[in-house]
Structure formats: C-alpha cells, structure tokens
C-alpha cells in the first residue's frame, strides 16, 4: 500500500527542485577555513564539542544544501539520505549503530509518523552519538496564514495530529526572489511531547531544546504576514539528543531496609 502523504510530498519536492527553489539547492558561499565552515553550517553551535573529523555522519533529508559538503570537508564520512519522505521512515538499509552524528534539518514536518522516524534514528545512531533535529514550531505552523481582523487564529487545535490546512493559495506558494511556485506540501506540526518522548523511547537523552526565528532585516513588516508572525512566535525548534553509552545511567542498588518488627502490644493497620 502506497503512503499517500509521502507520494504527494515527493511530487511537490520534485516540482520545487526543478524550479531550483529554496532547500533544493545550496545558496550562499561558505568560508574556506574549517572554523568558518563550521560556523556557516552550525551558526548556533548545537554541535559544539562534537568531533567531526573521522565521524560517521548521516545527513537525513540534507541533499539540498551545503551541509553534507561541509561535513565532508571537515573530515567526516558523510552519507546523504534524501530521496523521498517514505524512506525517511525506513532507514533499514543501514545497520544498527552506523553513525556518530545524525543531522536532520526541516523535513520531519513532511512526515505523518514522527515516532517511526525517531525510532529509526535511535537505531542507526551509535552509543555516544549525537542527533540534531530542526523542524517547524508546532504552534506557529498552526497560525501561518490565519490573520484576520487584527488577530491570528489556529487553523487546527494544538492537540490534533493531522495535516495543517492552507487558508489560501498564497499559503501554498514558495518564493525565492521574484520566483513564485505553487507547491502545496502536506505538513504536520509535531508537538514537543511527540518529539521528546519519541527520542526517549528510541534510546536518546534530550539535552537541548531551542526555539528561534531566522530574523528579518525589513523594519516595516506587513501586519499579519508570516514574517510578522515570526517576530512574535518562533518559526522553528531544534532538539538535540545523545545516544547513551551502555551503563551510562546508574541503577539504584541501595538495599531496601527490612521492615521493623512490631513492638509487643501494637499492631499494623490492615491492608485495604
């Protein structure tokens, strides 16, 4: 049985790639020094302290930017896995503990079953490895395009696990400079509890959660625009997880004290 969401989004990304839109081609020019390249790829230093030289890195849905190239230039053994949303949920081509770093940018939003993706990430991530996920903020995604009569209203409730609907054609339109292309991808605003609990169930410990917006240089943002909303609510979230080494969590081996004997002439309450 075909995955309807995956098939649709694959077609939309093919359309975007043919038009060379954002996230399908590298943009900008990274610096030539290793320190500069690392800042370019990881401007908020989420991988600070993580050794990349010699590391086995999986770029999950990372084929459209500079990141895989920079990882390779920094000495990492880099693998890119970016063919279709269906394959994001099935990393069975990789053996357990195959990677030291999994770098996963802005694609979980296009997948309906986030927990399945996270389970696979936990399987292929080696003990001691690092997983960095970035995706759309679940609250802000529900608000885009909903501005009316001076306020935003969520298009679906925070607790609904279904695609976030579009309100008009502009919401389906991707822009790059003067280029505009209608490509209505199916998108899901996965909640924090889904992501964090999914990572924990996959054997990872979350040691960082961040909310941010990319920023806009325009001082006169159109009221009600997506850019205006991004100044009020974060556009993205980033979550970092670490795969624990065996035995990293100590077990509580304290001896349970024996129950004291009853003194003569006293009795314990009956169990209910």
pLDDT at 85: 52
Q: SS3 letters for 105-157? A: ECCHHHCCCHHHHHHHHHHHEEEEEEEEEEEECHHHHHHCCCCECCECCCCCC
Rounded CA-CA distance 5/110 in Å is: 8
| Contact call for residues 174 and 180 (beta carbons, < 8 A) | yes
Q: How remote is the C-alpha of 60 from its chain's centroid?
A: 10
Question: Among residues 117, 10, 136, 131, which one has the least CA distance to residue 59?
Answer: 131
| Contact call for residues 53 and 101 (beta carbons, < 8 A) | no
- pLDDT of 259 strictly over 80: no
| Contact call for residues 196 and 118 (beta carbons, < 8 A) | no
Which carries the bigger pLDDT value, residue 266 or residue 129?
A: 129
- Out of 40-44, 224-228, 237-241, 251-255, which region has the weakest mean confidence (pLDDT)? 251-255
**pLDDT by residue (tens digit) across 79-115?**
998 755 554 566 888 999 999 999 999 899 999 999 9
Rounded CA-CA distance 54/71 in Å is: 10
Question: Among residues 39, 243, 228, 241, which one has the least CA distance to residue 151?
Answer: 228
Q: 226: alpha, beta or left, given left = phi > 0 and alpha = psi -120 to 50? A: alpha
**Model confidence, pTM:** 0.86
Q: Domains along the chain?
A: 4-243 (3.40.50.150)
- pLDDT of 49 strictly over 90: yes
User: pLDDT class for 255, splitting at 50, 70, 90?
Assistant: low
Rounded CA-CA distance 15/9 in Å is: 10
> Whose structure tokens read 């989004």?
9
Rounded CA-CA distance 237/209 in Å is: 7
Compute the average pLDDT of residues 131-150: 96
User: pLDDT class for 265, splitting at 50, 70, 90?
Assistant: very low
User: pLDDT class for 256, splitting at 50, 70, 90?
Assistant: very low
Rounded percentage of the chain residues whose pLDDT exceeds 90:
69
pLDDT at 93: 87
- pLDDT of 12 strictly over 50: yes
């Amino acid at each position: 049985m075909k995955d309807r969401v995956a098939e649709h989004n694959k077609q939309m990304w093919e359309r975007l790639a043919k038009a060379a839109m954002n996230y399908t081609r590298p943009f900008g020019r990274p610096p030539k020094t290793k320190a500069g390249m690392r800042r370019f790829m990881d401007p908020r230093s989420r991988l600070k302290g993580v050794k990349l030289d010699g590391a086995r890195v999986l770029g999950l849905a990372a084929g459209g930017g500079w990141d895989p190239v920079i990882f390779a230039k920094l000495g990492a053994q880099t693998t890119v896995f970016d063919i279709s949303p269906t394959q994001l949920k099935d990393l069975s081509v990789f053996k357990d503990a195959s990677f030291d770093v999994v770098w996963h940018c802005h694609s979980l939003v296009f997948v309906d079953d986030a927990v399945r993706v996270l389970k696979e990430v936990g399987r292929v991530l080696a003990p001691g490895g690092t997983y960095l996920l970035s995706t759309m903020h679940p609250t802000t995604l529900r608000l885009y395009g909903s501005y009316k009569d001076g306020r935003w209203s969520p298009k679906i409730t925070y607790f609904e696990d279904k695609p976030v609907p579009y309100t008009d054609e502009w919401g389906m339109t991707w822009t790059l400079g003067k280029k505009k292309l209608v490509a209505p991808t199916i998108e899901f605003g996965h909640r924090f509890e889904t992501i964090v609990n999914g990572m924990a169930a996959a054997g990872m410990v979350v040691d960082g959660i961040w909310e941010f917006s990319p920023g806009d240089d325009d001082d006169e943002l159109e009221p009600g625009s997506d850019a205006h909303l991004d100044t009020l609510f974060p556009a993205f979230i980033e979550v970092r997880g670490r795969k624990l080494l065996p035995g990293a969590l100590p077990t509580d081996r304290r001896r349970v004290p024996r129950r004291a004997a009853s003194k003569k002439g006293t009795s314990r309450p009956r169990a209910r």
